[in-house]
Amino acid sequence: MAIAVVNPATGETVETFSEHSAEEIEARVVKAEVAYQALKATDYAQRAVWMKKAADILEEEVDELAKMLTIEMGKPIAQSVGEVLKCAKNARFYADNAEKFLADEPLEDPSIVGASKAYLHYQPLGVVLAVMPWNYPLWQVVRFAAPALMAGNTGLLKHASNVPHSALYLDSLFTRAGFPDGSFTTILAGSAPVAGLIEDRRIKAVTLTGSEPAGRAVAGQAGAHIKPAVMELGGSDAFIVMPSAEIEQASTVAVTARINNNGQSCIAGKRFVVHADVYDEFMDKFVAKMSALVVGDPMDEATQVGPLATERGRDEIAELVDDAREKGATIRTGGKAPEGAGWFYEPTIVDGLEPGMRLVMEEAFGPVASVYKVSSREEAADVANQTTFGLSSALWTGDASDEEYFIKNIEAGAVFVNGMTISYPELPFGGVKDSGFGRELGAPGIREFCNFKTIWKS
Ligand code: NDP
C-alpha cells in the first residue's frame, strides 16, 4: 500500500510520501534508544509537565488537526474535533495519575517471605513498537503514547499507510512538548519492516491496534522473539435490547453506536440482538432513524455519516451486504453505495440473517447494522457469543436479573448497561477471544509495558 493521503470524500490524492529507507529506519531506532536512556532518568513530575504541554498543544491546534483527520480518513468534522480533545484529556489523565498507578506496592506482612521489606516496583521496558490503524489516527496512538511515555518508555510508531499526516504530526508533538528528541518517533513505512523491528533486540515490546490478520502476524512474531505484546483487534459487538428496555432511547443510541466514525469503530454496536416482545417497536424506530441520517461531505458540520476511509473498505462492506441479500436476508434500509465521487455507503439495516451469511460471523467495518430476533436471554447470549470476537457489548434492560445474567455470560472485554461502548481514559479497554489480549487505558494500560520488579530485603 503506497504511503499517501487520499481524500475519501473525493477519491483525490492529496499527497504521497516515500517510505523511509532501511538506513533511515535504523537511525530512528537508534534515536528512540538514546531517548530512552534520557527519559528513564527523568522523574514523573518532569514527564507530567511535558505531557500536559502536549495536551495544551493538541488543544491549541484542534481546528487544524480536525481538518487533517477529516481529509485523511473522512470522519465528520465535529467527531474529528472530539478525537483531538479526547487525546488531550488522555494526556492529562496519565500526567496526573502515572505516579500513583506505578507506585511501589509493599507486601503487607513481609515476614511471611522471610523479609524485613518486600515490594513490587514498576520500571519501564525501553523502546516499544506501536503498529497503529487509521480509524482514529490520533486517539489510537495517544492512548498508547501517553501512558508509555509517562512510564518512561519511548515509542516507535508505524502508522497505517493512509494517515501519514497524522503519523508525522505525532512524530513532532512530544518533542515540541519538551520530551527528549526521539521519545516518540515515526517510521514511514508499510508493514514489511515490522517483523525485523520486532526481532531487533533494542525493541522491547510491541502493541498493535488493527485487524485480526495483522494481529495474528504481529503477535506471532512477538511470541517467537519472547516480547510482550498488546493486541487490540477487531470486534463485532452485540447490542442487546430486552423487553424492559427504554426503546426510544435504545433505538437512538443504537444509531450512534453503529454509525459513529462512519461505522468504522472496533467497539461499534454491529449486531443488534432484540427480544421478540419489542422487536417490531425497536425496528420501526431504528429503521426510521437510520434512514433519516444526513450522509455527505464530512467537512460539513451538518453531516452525520461521511465516506468510508478507503475504497477497499467501501467495497468490502458492499460485498458483505450483497452476500446477505443474495442468500435471502432482508435489507430494511440502505444497502448500496450512492452514485458519485467518494467512498460512501448508505446507512444500512439487515435482518433475517441465517448461518452461512458472511455478516453473521465477519466484522462489518462500515455503517451496516445486522439485527437478530431472539426469544429469551439465553438465546440472546448465544447470538452475542457466536462470533469469534469478544471486544465489548451493550445491554439495554430495566431488569436487574438480566443485568446480572449478561454480565456473567457475555464473552467480551466489557459490558455497557443502558449505554453504548465508549473508551474513557479512566476505564481499562481491550478484548477477549479474537479481539485480542492485554489492556489499554486506566491503571492496567500503563502497567502493560513495565517490568514488575520484585524487591526482597532480608
Ligand atoms: P490493518 O490491520 O490492515 O492495519 C492496521 C495496522 O497494521 C496498519 O498500520 C497496517 O499497516 C499494519 N499491518 C497490516 N498488516 C500487517 C502485518 N502483516 N504485519 C505488520 N503490520 C501490519 O487494519 P485495517 O486497515 O483493516 O483496519 C481496520 C481493522 O482494525 C478492523 O478490523 C478493526 O476492527 C480493527 N481495529 C481494532 C481496534 C481496536 O481497538 N480493537 C481499533 C481500530 C481498528 P499498513 O497500513 O501499512 O498496511
Q: Residues 283-298: pLDDT tens digits?
A: 999 999 999 999 999 9
Residue 185's nearest CA partner among 149, 151, 209 is: 149
Q: What residue's CA is closest to ligand 1, atom 34?
A: 234
Residue 174 pLDDT class (50, 70, 90 cuts): very high
Q: What is the pLDDT of residue 127?
A: 98
Q: Which of 266, 387, 437, 448 to mutate to test the pocket of ligand 1 (most atoms within 8 A of CB)?
A: 266
DSSP class of 440: B
Beta-sheet strands, E only, within 292-339:
330-333
Q: Is the pLDDT of residue 1 over 80?
A: no
CA separation for the pair 370, 239 (Å, rounded): 10
Q: Is the pTM of this model over 0.90?
A: yes
Instruction: Please give the helix or strand (H or E) that residue 348 lies within, else none.
Output: strand 348-351
What is the average pLDDT across 158-174?
A: 98
CA separation for the pair 106, 220 (Å, rounded): 35
What is the average pLDDT across 418-438?
A: 98
Q: State which ligand 1 atom lies nearest to the alpha carbon of 136.
A: 43
Regarding the beta carbon of 131 and ligand 1, being less than 6 Å apart is answered yes
DSSP class of 452: E
Q: Distance from the CA of 456 to the center of ligand 1, in angstroms?
A: 42
Grid coordinates 502515572 are at which residue? 98
What are the residue ranges of helices labelled H in 40-138?
44-60, 62-73, 77-101
Residue 454 pLDDT class (50, 70, 90 cuts): very high
State the ipTM, two decimals.
Answer: 0.93
Q: Residues 48-63: pLDDT tens digits?
A: 999 999 999 999 999 9
CA separation for the pair 212, 389 (Å, rounded): 9
Under 8 Å between Cβ of 59 and 83: no
Q: What is the pLDDT of residue 142?
A: 98
CA separation for the pair 290, 412 (Å, rounded): 26
Q: Residues 374-397: pLDDT tens digits?
A: 999 999 999 999 999 999 999 999
Regarding the beta carbon of 194 and ligand 1, being less than 6 Å apart is answered yes
What rounded mean pLDDT belongs to the chain?
98
Parallel, antiparallel or unpaired: strands 154-158 and 184-186: parallel
Q: State which ligand 1 atom lies nearest to the alpha carbon of 310.
A: 25
Share of the chain above pLDDT 90, in %: 100
Q: State which ligand 1 atom lies nearest to the alpha carbon of 429.
A: 40
Cell of 57: 498543544
Which CATH fold would you assign to the domain 237-424?
A: Aldehyde Dehydrogenase; Chain A, domain 2 (3.40.309)
Q: Residues 88-147: pLDDT tens digits?
A: 999 999 999 999 999 999 999 999 999 999 999 999 999 999 999 999 999 999 999 999
Angle at 443 between CA 439 and CA 448, to 5 degrees: 45
Regarding the beta carbon of 172 and ligand 1, being less than 6 Å apart is answered no
Regarding the beta carbon of 190 and ligand 1, being less than 6 Å apart is answered yes
Under 8 Å between Cβ of 359 and 333: no
Q: Is the pLDDT of residue 438 over 90?
A: yes
Q: Which of 3, 191, 421 to mutate to test the pocket of ligand 1 (most atoms within 8 A of CB)?
A: 191
Residue 148 pLDDT class (50, 70, 90 cuts): very high
What is the average pLDDT across 255-283?
A: 98
Cell of 198: 520486532
Regarding the beta carbon of 196 and ligand 1, being less than 6 Å apart is answered no
Q: Cα-atom radius of gyration of the chain, to the nearest Å?
A: 23
Q: Distance from the CA of 426 to the center of ligand 1, in angstroms?
A: 25
Regarding the beta carbon of 160 and ligand 1, being less than 6 Å apart is answered yes
Q: What is the pLDDT of residue 194?
A: 98
Regarding the beta carbon of 389 and ligand 1, being less than 6 Å apart is answered no
Angle at 427 between CA 282 and CA 160, to 5 degrees: 85
Q: Residues 72-104: pLDDT tens digits?
A: 999 999 999 999 999 999 999 999 999 999 999
Grid coordinates 436487574 are at which residue? 400
Q: What is the pLDDT of residue 313?
A: 98
Q: Which of 73, 211, 231 to mutate to test the pocket of ligand 1 (most atoms within 8 A of CB)?
A: 211
Share of the chain above pLDDT 70, in %: 100
Q: State which ligand 1 atom lies nearest to the alpha carbon of 431.
A: 41
Q: What is the pLDDT of residue 367?
A: 98
Active site residues: 232, 266
Cell of 424: 474513557
Angle at 60 between CA 169 and CA 265, to 5 degrees: 60
Regarding the beta carbon of 217 and ligand 1, being less than 6 Å apart is answered yes
Q: Residues 199-250: pLDDT tens digits?
A: 999 999 999 999 999 999 999 999 999 999 999 999 999 999 999 999 999 9
Residue ranges per structural domain of the chain: 4-233+435-457, 237-424
Q: What is the pLDDT of residue 295?
A: 98
Q: Residues 269-279: pLDDT tens digits?
A: 999 999 999 99
Under 8 Å between Cβ of 329 and 357: yes
According to the CATH classification, is domain 4-233+435-457 in 3.40.50.2300?
A: no
Cell of 296: 455527505
CA separation for the pair 65, 440 (Å, rounded): 24
Beta-sheet strands, E only, within 51-190:
105-106, 117-124, 127-131, 154-158, 184-186
Under 8 Å between Cβ of 127 and 29: yes
Cell of 298: 464530512
Q: What residue's CA is closest to ligand 1, atom 40?
A: 232
